[in-house]
């Protein structure tokens, strides 16, 4: 019999820290007082904060137990589509913790942090080389922040030509943050539909592209896990009307070292270091969303920029057309160190191989499950594949029930109900991390769940049953949220 | 989710392709979303509606509805001025799930062109489109 990772171990209860505290307990010994007591001014007195009194072991057990209720990529397979939950190698943490990097104060003189500056300068060059772009900024703190930077660059570019524009084309297969980023920058997003093949057609873009449109935001590979194969033609249509092409690079894990983004017509591209380049996310962040541009947009990159003069590095704000500063100091530098560590550990050939394996894993899952679950678009996919609950509907079983049951089998659920173009979507991204044995177990779990859906749907409606918290009432949580402790 | 045969649609309502319903009440038109739409969306947790006095053309967005699955736009089945909104949905968005055609109504419109109402689908045509 197949042995799945999910089992029922002993799970320990743990109350809130406030319920655990007892008067007089302490986890810290204050040093002996060596000054005379002084009365406190009445104006400074008041009720202290409501902190529980706890011993050290109380606190350690509390957080250890909570961590055991949790599930992360260090625990098991985490196939959350669109999120690239690949393993975060521990060497990254080790490098980022090196005192020379970890303790460098952001206000140090350039002369005293040449190492950090070199690292940032080189990381920019690596990202530019991996993507086929010309220049980069490391400042944006997340993917959507990178999108906003990209839109500000679009705006600055059109303004510099004395021809400001008002609209941005956003396809229905783009990431959900794209229209919001465009709108935040004052552009009106113009939605367009993908074809029955799940990709954009040049005709759909040509129908709306005009001289009031600043450009298009394309997620490639798109949120259906499909490569936008018409991208070059689409870019030509947009460029012919004076527009720019933004590439949402959140799905770059499928195409590292394989697709030259500059040559397929992308003018601005953001990367998610916390996805493609193995830095932690999903509670372990923060993120980093560097933006790469082609030469003609380099003058607009945010400041400060790292420059190299006579073998020395320094930060410079001296860029007349820059969109300005996007982040305090120079972005989330600790995250940059981890991505730099990853890129150097892997090397060019292995980065490419990681992408190839990520795509192979997704296609393997797609082929082995397409008779069990309805496959939204039956064609070769990139790094993720999208199923739906269509075949399970006769049993009154939904996508939510299926993935809740998957938790009992010991896997993190895939992304659900996204992308919106597929009703009841079940979006699986295995990444290159998983070995074939683990992927096979995942596939067997989903096949077993499909059989349960037919024979015993109540099992799915009640799932998860093996977790510390059972089926949560998400509706009441959303309608009547309690936001205080 | 339910099969189309398990959903109910009143006879005297008109329906838009984007699943809003519209019903004439004197010289105004009440608007909500159909039983099919609420069933597809799942449990609705928030409804964002316009201010009274605002005007929208037919087919333009007048608000959004948020469910546990997604946020969806609401489109005007007929153009006109908003004369009333169902503010009870602020505290009880579940009315859209429970009674989509009565307590779950969303806006009341003073139509600019009453022929727009006639151009919407009747129950039979709407059911055919759902089964299609």
> Å from B3 to nearest chain A CA?
8
| pLDDT of the residue at A485 | 62
φ, ψ at A454 (rounded to 5°): -80, -45
Average pLDDT rounded to a whole number, residues A271-279: 97
| pLDDT of the residue at A284 | 66
Domain that holds residue B82: 4-131
All structural domains of chain A, each given as residue ranges with its CATH number in brackets, are 91-345 (3.40.640.10), 348-470 (3.90.1150.10)
The answer, yes or no, to whether residue A389 has pLDDT greater than 90, is yes
- Is the CB of A478 less than 8 angstroms away from the CB of B1? no
- Is the CB of A479 less than 8 angstroms away from the CB of B69? no
Per-residue pLDDT of A47-64, as tens digits, reads 888 889 999 999 999 999
Residues belonging to chain A with any Cβ–Cβ distance to chain B shorter than 8 Å = 393, 398, 417-418, 420, 423-424, 474-475, 478-479
Taking the alpha carbons of A21, A23, A27, A28 in that order, is the dihedral positive or negative? positive
Window from A94-103, A205-214, A416-425, A426-435 with minimum mean pLDDT: A416-425
- Is the CB of B43 less than 8 angstroms away from the CB of A475? yes
SS3 for B65? strand
Q: Which chain B residue has the Cα nearest residue A479?
A: B45
Residue numbers in B near A474 (CB within 8 A)? 43, 68
Per-residue pLDDT of B113-130, as tens digits, reads 989 999 999 999 999 999
- Is the CB of A418 less than 8 angstroms away from the CB of B68? no
SS3 content of chain A, % helix, strand, coil (to 5): 40, 10, 50
| pLDDT of the residue at A428 | 98
> Å from B43 to nearest chain A CA?
6
Cβ-based neighbours of A138, under 8 Å, separated by 6 or more? A120, A123, A124, A288, A290, A330, A331, A336
Average pLDDT rounded to a whole number, residues A366-385: 96
Give me the number of domains chain B comprises.
Answer: 1
Q: Which chain A residue has the Cα nearest residue B90?
A: A479
Average pLDDT rounded to a whole number, residues B84-92: 95
**Both tokens of residue A24?**
């007089």
SS3 for A176? coil
Cβ-based neighbours of A158, under 8 Å, separated by 6 or more? A164, A165, A214
> Å from A460 to nearest chain B CA?
15
Average pLDDT rounded to a whole number, residues A109-138: 97
Average pLDDT rounded to a whole number, residues A414-425: 92
Q: pTM score, two decimals?
A: 0.90
Whether the CB-CB separation of B4 and B36 falls below 8 Å is answered with yes
Taking the alpha carbons of A180, A182, A187, A193 in that order, is the dihedral positive or negative? negative
Question: Between residues A166 and A69, which one has the greater pLDDT?
Answer: A166
Per-residue pLDDT of A13-37, as tens digits, reads 999 999 998 999 998 888 999 999 9
Per-residue pLDDT of A276-320, as tens digits, reads 999 998 776 799 999 999 999 999 999 999 999 999 999 999 999
B40: contact with A, CB 8 A cutoff: yes
The answer, yes or no, to whether residue A351 has pLDDT greater than 90, is yes
Helix or strand (DSSP H, E) at A53: none
Provide the CATH number for the domain around residue B55. 2.40.50.100
| pLDDT of the residue at B2 | 78
């Amino acid at each position: 019999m197949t042995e799945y990772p999910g089992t029922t171990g002993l799970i320990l209860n743990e109350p809130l820290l406030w319920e655990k505290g007892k008067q007089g307990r302490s986890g810290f010994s204050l040093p002996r007082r060596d000054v005379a007591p002084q009365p406190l001014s009445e104006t400074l007195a008041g009720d202290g904060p409501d902190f529980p009194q706890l011993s050290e072991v109380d606190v350690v057990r509390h957080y250890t137990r909570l961590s055991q209720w949790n599930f992360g990529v260090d625990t098991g397979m985490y196939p959350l589509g669109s999120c690239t939950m690949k393993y975060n190698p521990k060497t990254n943490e080790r490098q980022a913790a090196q005192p020379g990097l970890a303790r460098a104060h952001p206000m140090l003189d350039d002369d005293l942090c040449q190492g950090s500056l070199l690292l940032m300068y080189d990381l920019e060059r690596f990202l530019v080389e991996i993507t086929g772009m010309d220049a980069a900024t490391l400042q944006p703190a997340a993917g959507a922040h990178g999108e906003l930077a990209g839109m500000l660059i679009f705006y600055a570019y059109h303004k510099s030509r004395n021809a400001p524009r008002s609209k941005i084309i956003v396809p229905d297969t783009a990431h959900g943050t794209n229209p919001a980023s465009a709108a935040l920058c004052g552009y009106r997003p113009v939605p367009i539909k993908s074809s029955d093949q799940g990709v954009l057609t040049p005709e759909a873009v040509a129908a709306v592209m005009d001289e009031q449109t600043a450009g298009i935001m394309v997620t490639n590979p798109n949120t259906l896990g499909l490569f936008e194969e018409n991208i070059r033609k689409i870019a030509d249509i947009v460029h012919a009307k004076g527009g720019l092409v933004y590439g949402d690079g959140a799905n770059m894990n499928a195409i590292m070292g394989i697709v030259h983004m500059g040559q397929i017509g992308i003018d601005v591209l953001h990367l998610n270091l916390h996805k493609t380049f193995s830095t932690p996310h999903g509670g372990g962040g923060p993120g980093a969303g560097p933006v790469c541009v082609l030469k003609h947009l380099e003058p607009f990159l945010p400041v400060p920029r790292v420059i190299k003069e006579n073998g020395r590095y320094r930060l410079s704000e001296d860029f007349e057309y820059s969109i300005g500063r996007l982040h305090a100091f120079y972005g989330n530098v600790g995250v940059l160190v981890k991505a730099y560590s990853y890129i150097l550990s892997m090397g060019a050939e292995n980065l490419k191989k990681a992408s190839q394996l990520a795509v192979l894993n997704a296609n393997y899952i797609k082929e082995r499950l397409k008779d069990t679950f309805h496959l939204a678009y039956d064609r070769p996919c990139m790094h993720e594949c999208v199923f739906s609950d269509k075949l399970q509907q006769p049993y009154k079983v939904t996508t939510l029930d299926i993935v809740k049951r998957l938790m009992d089998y010991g896997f993190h659920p895939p992304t659900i109900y996204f992308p919106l173009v597929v009703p009841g979507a079940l979006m699986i991204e295995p990444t290159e991390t998983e070995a074939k044995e683990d992927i096979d177990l995942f596939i067997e779990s989903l096949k077993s769940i499909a059989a349960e859906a037919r024979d015993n749907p109540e099992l799915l409606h009640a799932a998860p049953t093996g977790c510390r918290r059972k089926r949560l009432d998400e509706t009441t949580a959303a309608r009547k949220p309690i936001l205080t402790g | 989710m339910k099969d189309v045969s398990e959903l109910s649609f009143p006879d005297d309502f008109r329906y838009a392709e984007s699943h809003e319903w519209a019903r004439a009440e004197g010289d105004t038109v009440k608007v909500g979303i159909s039983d099919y739409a609420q069933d597809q969306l799942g449990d609705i947790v928030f409804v964002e509606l316009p201010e009274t006095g605002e005007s929208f053309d037919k087919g333009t967005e007048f608000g959004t509805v948020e469910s546990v699955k997604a946020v969806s736009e609401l489109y005007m089945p007929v153009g006109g001025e908003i004369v009333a909104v169902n503010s009870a949905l602020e505290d009880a968005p579940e009315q859209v799930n429970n009674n989509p055609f009565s307590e779950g109504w969303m806006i009341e419109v003073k139509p600019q062109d009453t022929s727009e109402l006639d151009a919407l689908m009747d129950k039979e045509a709407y059911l055919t489109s759902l089964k299609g």
